[in-house]
Amino acid sequence: MLRCARSSLRAGSLGLLVGLMLYAYGSGAAPAAGAAAWSVPTQPVTIAYWDSADNVKNELLSKTLIPEYERLHPNVTIKYEAVSGLGPKLAAAFATGTAPEVFEVADWFLPKVLQSQVADPLPPTAWGQASVAGVLDNYLPHLLNAMVDRGQLYGVPDQMNAWSLYMNNRLFREAGLDPARDAPRTWADVARLNKVLTKRKGDQVVQKGFEMRYPGDGHWQAQMFQLLVYQAGGDVLDAGKPVFNSAAGVAALGVWKSVTVAPQVTQNTQASPYQDFAMEQDAMTFAGPNAGASIERINPKMAGNYTVAPLPQARPDRPVTLIYSYAWMVNRKASTVQKQVAWDFIHYVSTRPGEWMTAARYLQPVKGWYETPAAKQVPFLAVFVHDLSVGRPVARSTNYLELQSALQRMIDRVVLNGADPKQSLDQAAAEFERAGH
């Protein structure tokens, strides 16, 4: 584990001054009437913190936010570890009683964590509030609903994003298109632009307009299929049972096939899912706000060379995108003083949406910040917030990985191998039901 070093406090440090102000006042609201006073233990306390592996985020935490917090509380030691494959490692740690005091949970893993009752309920007083409703009111409406169970809030997001459409400015202009004026509003528009933006040398595809993303364990396929089902007016699960094998599911696959160009022509990998867009093989892609940093890291020439627009829709009058999120949570089995420090630390790092967006391009749905002058200078922020506001979360299931695998196999059968859509949907539904028993 990485022990974050305590560096000396520089007088007049702007970063720490901002941190102190936010630490004291949260997102800007005064403590609510009736809220009990919140205090942090003064005796030595050590907490372990596991987070997913993301270079930009890990650097912000290990080099800035954690050292700042430790300077504010010299009695606190935070042992921070960036973990590749965090979900499975957490599941094993919960089973053996070795889970850390603070951990990040992906939305797909959240139902299993809540069902297992391994997480500590968030104390509203740490946010200067008298109730869970008071904490939720600091966030955009309804977006934290998935983190609430039986009236208790169990975490707050380090990032909550929705997919938007990224377009390569240069490739659009080379094709006689303007990425702002000609941004596609519907998937039919995407299919039309594919014909203009796709290039071939002989039988070889060397540039594509838009393509779905296939690498890895089915993460991207399953999420995009769910989004298209929502856009078609359907649902994925109902009371835990599959309902995606409906007319909406067939329509979703129809949209998918309509925008497919050449899935086998790709450089994308699970570790680098934006490779095709970053290397200018694809002129368009779907991604959240944090993708920009990854794209520019792969190819620095992409900085300033893309435009972001709202995600295309099946029915523009009823827009829907997909929300994906990661939440900070606390181990229920931690000691009382560890829980106090853990929640105080989470409050400290979760009430700084501007810093997270600037440093890591992580969107945190905290009210108020989006209207500040600084926020209005963030490129495409209005698009990101719009798509978040019309988003729906991934399907809620304690067997989500089984759902993801069934959907991946179904998409491969239909899109890559030409199987009958309805028959393949029914097969996927049956596979998921068997996996749940």
pLDDT digits (tens, 9 = 90+) for 91-142: 999 999 999 999 999 999 999 999 999 999 999 999 999 999 999 999 999 9
Query: Per the domain annotation, does 380 fall within a domain?
Result: no
CB distance 238 to 301 below 8 Å: no
Query: Per the domain annotation, does 382 fall within a domain?
Result: no
* 9 pLDDT above the threshold of 80: no
pLDDT attached to residue 56: 84
pLDDT digits (tens, 9 = 90+) for 66-103: 999 999 999 999 999 999 889 899 999 999 999 999 99
The domain total for the chain is 2
Same domain for 25 and 108, yes or no, is yes
Same domain for 341 and 399, yes or no, is no
In which band, very low, low, confident or very high, does the pLDDT at 372 lie, cut at 50, 70 and 90? confident
Same domain for 76 and 138, yes or no, is yes
Q: What percent of the chain has pLDDT over 70?
A: 92
Residue 387 to residue 263: CA distance in whole angstroms: 26
Q: Which of 348, 194, 175 is nearest to 258 (CA)?
A: 194
Query: Per the domain annotation, does 297 fall within a domain?
Result: yes
Q: Which of 121, 78, 79, 114 is nearest to 94 (CA)?
A: 114
Structure tokens belonging to residue 196: 């203009």
Query: Per the domain annotation, does 141 fall within a domain?
Result: yes
Sheet containing 199-201: which strands, arranged edge to edge? 199-201, 204-210, 282-287, 164-168, 306-309
Q: Which of 200, 256, 209 is nearest to 416 (CA)?
A: 256
Same domain for 261 and 353, yes or no, is no
Average pLDDT over residues 3-28: 37
Same domain for 153 and 253, yes or no, is no
Tell me which residue range forms the domain holding 244: 164-322+393-435
Which residues have a Cβ under 8 Å from the Cβ of 428 and sit 6 or more positions away? 242, 244, 245, 406, 407, 409, 410
Query: Per the domain annotation, does 387 fall within a domain?
Result: no
Same domain for 129 and 183, yes or no, is no
Same domain for 151 and 172, yes or no, is no
Comparing 196 with 294, the larger pLDDT belongs to 196
CB distance 48 to 100 below 8 Å: yes
Average pLDDT over residues 281-302: 94
Residue 295 to residue 100: CA distance in whole angstroms: 32
Residue 211 to residue 266: CA distance in whole angstroms: 9
* 15 pLDDT above the threshold of 50: no
* 380 pLDDT above the threshold of 80: yes
Same domain for 185 and 303, yes or no, is yes
Same domain for 300 and 254, yes or no, is yes
Strand partners, 366: 139
Same domain for 155 and 141, yes or no, is yes
Model-wide pTM > 0.85: yes
Residue 274 to residue 215: CA distance in whole angstroms: 10
CB distance 420 to 245 below 8 Å: no
pLDDT attached to residue 31: 56
Single-letter amino acid code for the residue at 89:
K
Query: Per the domain annotation, does 45 fall within a domain?
Result: yes
Query: Per the domain annotation, does 386 fall within a domain?
Result: no
Which residues have a Cβ under 8 Å from the Cβ of 101 and sit 6 or more positions away? 47, 48, 49, 330, 331, 334, 338, 339, 341, 342
HEC per residue, the chain: CEECCCCCCCCCCHHHHHHHHHHHHCCCCCCCCCCCCCCCCCCCEEEEEEEECCHHHHHHHHHHHHHHHHHHCCCEEEEEEEECCHHHHHHHHHHHCCCCCEEEEEHHHHHHHHHHCCECCCCHHHHCCCCHHHHHCCECCCCCHHHEECCEECCEEEEEEECEEEEEHHHHHHCCCCCCCCCCCEHHHHHHHHHHHCEEECCEEEEEEECCCCCCCCHHHHHHHHHHHHHCCCCCEECCEECCCCHHHHHHHHHHHHCCCCCCCCCCCCCCCCHHHHCCCEEEEEECCCHHHHHHHHCHHHCCCEEEECCCECCCCCCCEEEEEEEEEEECCCCHHHHHHHHHHHHHHHCCHHHHHHHHCCCCCECCHHHCHHHHCCCCHHHHHHHHHCEEECCCCCCHHHHHHHHHHHHHHHHHCCCCHHHHHHHHHHHHHHHCC
Q: Which of 114, 34, 10 is nearest to 327 (CA)?
A: 114
Residue 215 to residue 267: CA distance in whole angstroms: 9
Query: Per the domain annotation, does 388 fall within a domain?
Result: no
Same domain for 193 and 255, yes or no, is yes
For position 29, which CATH number holds?
Answer: 3.40.190.10
Strand partners, 48: 79
pLDDT digits (tens, 9 = 90+) for 335-345: 999 999 999 99
Average pLDDT over residues 412-431: 97
Same domain for 358 and 255, yes or no, is no
